[in-house]
Amino acid sequence: MADPSHQPQPESTTPDTRKLRNICVLAHVDHGKTTLCDHLISGSDSGIIHPKLAGRLRYMDSLLEEQRRAITMKSSSIALRHCDHSVTVIDSPGHMDFCSEVSTAARLSDGALILVDAVEGVHIQTHAVLRQAWIEKLTPCLVINKIDRLIAELGMSPMDAYVKLLKIVHEVNNIVSAFKSVKYLNDVDAILSGPAGADELAFEEIEDDEELMFQPQKGNVAFVCALDGWGFSIRQFAEFYEAKFGWSTNALQKALWGPWYFNHKEKKIVGQKGVAGLKKARPMFVEFVLEPVWSVYQAALKEKEEAQVMVQKVIRTFNLTIPPRDLKGDPKGMVQAVMSRWLPLHEAILNMVIRCMPDPIAAQSFRITRLLPKREVVGDGVDANVLAEAELVRSSVEACDSRPEAPCVVFVSKMFAVPTKTLPRYGLDGEILDNTSDEGELDECFLAFARIYSGHVPEAQAGDIVAIRGLGQHILKTATLSSTKNCWPFSSMSFQVSPTLKVAIEPSDPADMGALMKGLRLLNRADPFVEVTVSARGEHVLSAAGEVHLERCIKDLKDRFARVGLEVSKPLVSFKETILGDESTLENLKSFVASSEYVEKVTQNGRCVVRVKVLKLPPSLTKVIDESSDILADILGGKAAQTGETNKSLNTQVASTVEDANPIETLRKRMMEAVESDILSSGETDKDRAEKCKVQWQKLLKRIWALGPWHIGPNILLAPEMKGKGTDSSVLIRGSSHVSEKLGLVDASDNDNAAADTSSEVTEALYAEAERLHSSVLSGFQLATAAGPLCDEPMWGLAFVVEAYISPLAAQSDELETSHQQPEQYGIFTGQVMTAIKDACRVAVLQKKPRLVEAMYFCELITPTEQLGNMYAVLGRRRTKVLKEEMQEGSALFTVHAYVPVSESFGFADELRRWTAGAASALLVLSHWEALDKDPFFVPKTDEEKEEFGDGSSVPPNTARKLINAVRRQKGLPVEEKVVQHATKQRTLARKVPLGES
């Protein structure tokens, strides 16, 4: 997010590109993004919105569902004109369920407006959008919104408000500094001296801290009230005081923020030491900026006559021209009229955008490493002309070349559907035709939300954001379009979360299945984040980011895409399976190495004996592998790399992305650091033992044969140690350190030398058959890790050692060469080996105290003091783990951070609103996976347990067992539970005899 404005500029661009800005508006939910966009539209030359409707119309929220819920669900853009510049503004959602729209908006932008509520401050989604801007290399500007709340709600003085604003700026800068991995540096107070005069301001050059991203004195921070339509940056007040007193604009712009004071007697700017003896000394930002603003708002609290006097004083001081009719209303309307004309919001924001954000030429030269990172081609047989043309295309994108001869390159960030009736229809002579249609078919048109990065087309050129019609049948979600086939695809976009909420969908009428399938295909194309799959049971599963996202998807299916009645199942929650293991990483490893307890399985024909033991991986190592799935897919060619999105015209054998660092080296370093951190966190005080543990883990990491499930999961298959042959002339199926070689943890030559050591006592054919069974071992491992023994959920953080020994057929050892092709009475031998390995791995997990792993949300709650008890009552019913509770400074609101299990989160927001009368709000973000400490197979064994639970027959299922049974029922797996809980026959009821029979 560094400023790219100083990049060298190419000469082959048109002047209009220099006057173009592409920005997106990013913020936490309800921090005022759409309201801000309303005022930008009303203040521009478009004339779309009347200024009095701005902030209430929510023009960018075009969907009925957006207007009804008062939240933005889709990113939408509009082109504005300001000061001979064209500014394309993309409004994005703030709700975490629609974070994919933030990614699509950020990819097409060059700069970002980061909004923060002045009262609520930085929230979790603020961190997320800052990170998104950092990843996409956007140039950000900070907008602190809702300044009026500091006056009207909190009743802060200008000095208290300054401290609050200073804290917000510092907090946002600390977040960005964490991305840069540098220390935050504070300004040092200094006394500024120089020649003083009646009409001259003495000022010594103030040094800026270049490490800080947001500095109000640089002009990239604005203070606004979007609802009332006013805002300012320090530059505006510096220019005003220059015109009024003749002071230096540059000097004032640097002194109007920070610990700088104005000495009225000496007409000098001084530091804190220069005003040590003055009692009423105030920072210049407070004295010259906030106090005039506060005086206008305080007029609204006075009587009408007093308010008129105060407002007239401000009008005279700042030479304002306000129509008399705007001063005749109520005090609040009068204040709004004065502020919006004194400090127009659109001027403050758009001027800041033009000054501080780069044009497409400067931005693309800075962002090229993110958009089109350099590729390193390995292997021969690639045409040099093809590579040269690909490099030419990259250079054109870097230069934002809009010449006619430049290759045209377009990136589509998403596809979105609009009703065909809303699009204009033109005749042969350009006249607009009637666009109404009475057809019964679906009337949806798919448009591509895209940006031209190089070249030009009619009415658009490089740097423009456009909508493209006619690609609905060719693009699913994203695409790179090029006028030449020899063009690298753009790098994929990064998303903050993944679709975790899943439901099964079926039509209410089975005859509508065709319409449902068609609707699901359309929904999958129209929403960049939704996933549509078919489960093993044949159910159509819809995956969404959260409850609000899911509700909108279901509504779109019913009303727009499928137009049929739907039956929606209860949410399908994903779990993982692992083992308990010891708390200490060292003890885990020690018991694993010393243990000789293997789970043994034999194939049905008796020819292969499989021995398996399992180890729990260190948590940090598991997390690194899981987070690096995309990198591993590129390195190993796993599931994510087999999507077919390859450039076939550049027929390379291996293409690796080289950006800031070597991804393989970075991943290898992270894995080793994760092991070391777990060893240190285990509390081991003996340095020798810790070093031995580290060396032992390094040896194990050199034996990684495969990862699973899907070849990129957080489970490891370790190659067995080379021990030659087994008993009775059996041969070990030798593994290979395939993954370790790919990650650079071991040299390929070391593995080959070890594998070349063979025994002369067995036939060569038996070794050849062992080599052919490598794929069976890998397939068995992938099957086992994809479906664990508890409830067929993927395994998590486990390492397996699989030793498979094969022996020759009895009395038929001379036919080994062809025996693998002969069908046996027990089935094909490769399938038997695969099944035996899968079963052995599952049994090994069951014998090592299996545990269920559930996904956890990080929950941020905001609630007033009087509703704190009700909020905790809701949290207590949902197995939450409260992390901290703090009161927001200067308000009666509490901020509570907690972990909420995903399985307990459904309906959480509705219940919270219901119990707190709508006063509390919550935001859920997927955080991590956490193992349940409950044993799903708990049986009382000790005397204390038997005294509490009895003999075990009356022990109710614990939480882990209930979750396992629920998942097994959903999947149609058998569940061990009592059908009749209380079978004692009731014998005490008297027989009712009618009175007439007595």
The predicted-structure confidence for 526-545, as pLDDT tens digits, reads as follows: 888 888 888 877 889 898 88
Given a cut of 90, whether residue 690 has pLDDT beyond it is no
CATH class of 852-971: alpha beta
Euclidean distance between CA atoms 761 and 706, whole angstroms: 30
Of residues 783 and 496, more confidence is placed in: 783
Mean pLDDT is lowest, of 636-645, 740-749, 877-886, for: 636-645
Of residues 841 and 5, more confidence is placed in: 841
Predicted local confidence at residue 107, as pLDDT: 92
For CATH 3.40.50.300, list the domain ranges present in the chain: 17-190+212-356
- Percentage of the chain with pLDDT > 90? 16
Mean pLDDT of 573-594: 74
pLDDT-based confidence at residue 440 (cuts at 50, 70, 90) = very low
Predicted local confidence at residue 908, as pLDDT: 87
**DSSP element (H, E) containing 882:** strand 881-887
What the block records as the tokens of 628 is: 């690096």
Of residues 84 and 51, more confidence is placed in: 84
Q: What is the pLDDT of residues 64-102, one digit of tens each?
A: 877 888 788 888 899 998 888 899 999 988 887 788 888
Q: What is the pLDDT of residues 215-265, one digit of tens each?
A: 898 889 999 998 888 999 998 888 888 877 777 778 888 888 888 888 777
The residue among 869, 868, 898 whose CA lies nearest residue 881 is 898
Fold annotation for 501-572: Alpha-Beta Plaits (3.30.70)
Given a cut of 60, whether residue 657 has pLDDT beyond it is no
Euclidean distance between CA atoms 133 and 139, whole angstroms: 8
Of residues 295 and 951, more confidence is placed in: 295
Of residues 495 and 134, more confidence is placed in: 134
Looking at every residue in the chain, the average pLDDT score rounds to 79
Euclidean distance between CA atoms 580 and 845, whole angstroms: 10
For CATH 3.30.230.10, list the domain ranges present in the chain: 583-642+653-748+761-808+823-848
844: phi then psi, degrees, rounded to nearest 5? -60, -35
Helix, strand, coil % in the chain, rounded to nearest 5: 40, 20, 40
Count the alpha carbons within 13 Å of 586 in the hemisphere toward its beta carbon. Answer: 18
Mean pLDDT of 848-876: 89
Q: Any idea which architecture 17-190+212-356 has in CATH? A: 3-Layer(aba) Sandwich (3.40)
* Amino acid identity, position 232: F
Q: What is the pLDDT of residues 776-815, one digit of tens each?
A: 889 999 999 999 999 989 999 999 988 888 887 754 444 4
DSSP 8-class letter at 422: G
Given a cut of 60, whether residue 751 has pLDDT beyond it is no
Predicted local confidence at residue 659, as pLDDT: 42
Mean pLDDT is lowest, of 41-45, 301-305, 958-962, for: 301-305
Predicted local confidence at residue 186, as pLDDT: 27
Q: Which residues pair with 579 in a beta bridge?
A: 850
Predicted local confidence at residue 923, as pLDDT: 82
Lookup result for tokens 């023009």: 59
For CATH 3.30.70.870, list the domain ranges present in the chain: 501-572
Q: What is the pLDDT of residues 352-366, one digit of tens each?
A: 999 999 999 999 999
Distances (CA, A) of 113 to 86, 197, 353: 16, 40, 8
For CATH 3.30.70.240, list the domain ranges present in the chain: 852-971
Mean pLDDT of 413-436: 74
Mean pLDDT of 300-311: 68
Q: Please, is 752 exposed, middle or buried when counting C-beta atoms within 10 Å of its C-beta (0-12, 13-18, 19+)?
A: exposed
Residues 6+ apart with CB under 8 A from 48: 41, 42, 59
Mean pLDDT of 299-314: 69
Using an 8 Å Cβ cutoff, are 547 and 900 in contact? no
Which among 194-198, 583-587, 931-935 has the top mean pLDDT? 931-935
Given a cut of 70, whether residue 583 has pLDDT beyond it is no
pLDDT-based confidence at residue 207 (cuts at 50, 70, 90) = very low
Given a cut of 90, whether residue 113 has pLDDT beyond it is yes
827: phi then psi, degrees, rounded to nearest 5? 105, 175
Q: Please, is 116 exposed, middle or buried when counting C-beta atoms within 10 Å of its C-beta (0-12, 13-18, 19+)?
A: buried
Predicted local confidence at residue 124, as pLDDT: 82
Euclidean distance between CA atoms 711 and 722, whole angstroms: 23
Predicted local confidence at residue 431, as pLDDT: 66
Fold annotation for 583-642+653-748+761-808+823-848: Ribosomal Protein S5; domain 2 (3.30.230)
**DSSP element (H, E) containing 716:** strand 715-718
Euclidean distance between CA atoms 449 and 800, whole angstroms: 46
